Amino acid sequence: MYVPKKIFLTKGIGVSKEQLTSFEMALRNAGVGPYNLVSVSSIYPPGCKLISREAGLKELEPGQIVHAVMSRNATNEPGRMITASVGLAIPKDKSAYGYLSEHHGYGQTEEEAGEYAEDLAAEMLATILGVEFDTDLSWDEKRNLWHISGKIVHSQNITQYATGDARGLWTTVFAAAILLP
């Protein structure tokens, strides 16, 4: 059985004439270009340790198959705002699992997309922990409730924002949580 023991967050941006090349440039900018990324669903494994991008990249070898929760978005429309974000919510109980969420948006600021993704992850975790909340509350009010409950110890996001290249080249944004053995 494979259960990841470490996780790191990363993000990148790429611009190119071709959409696929733009995506490759975003992966390279995020530091994960030389790996075979496999998309997985949104569970933060029990007992998993959040580490820095630098520490995580040192554990990888080119060509390695790497599991990731990924978000990506692309545009070739000049000036169009795009975001890719991954939210994270970790329970206080280290033997319990947490949540990751992916969000890709248009017309949002980096902060708006990041808060949305983080809110998604925290809300999913809150629902399994029995933390009651009003979905109409503001982000700050919900965040305070979740942390006051003592059941959610940490939440955060990683978000890449960009505006479409002025010349109409493909612009790709990428954000990911990379899971390691």
Res. 149 pLDDT band, cuts 50 70 90: low
pLDDT at 131: 72
Query: pTM here?
Result: 0.90
Q: Is the pLDDT of residue 135 over 90?
A: no
Distance CA 12, CA 133 (A): 34
Mean pLDDT, to the nearest integer, of 81-99? 95
CATH number for the segment(s) 6-180 = 3.50.20.10
pLDDT at 172: 98
Distance CA 176, CA 14 (A): 15
pLDDT at 105: 96
Query: pLDDT above 70 covers what percent of the chain?
Result: 89
Distance CA 98, CA 177 (A): 13
Alpha-carbon dihedral of residues 24, 28, 34, 36, nearest 10 degrees? -50
Q: Is the pLDDT of residue 153 over 90?
A: no
Q: Is the pLDDT of residue 148 over 90?
A: no
Q: What strands lie across the sheet with 36-39, from one edge to the other?
A: 36-39, 65-75, 170-180, 6-16, 49-50
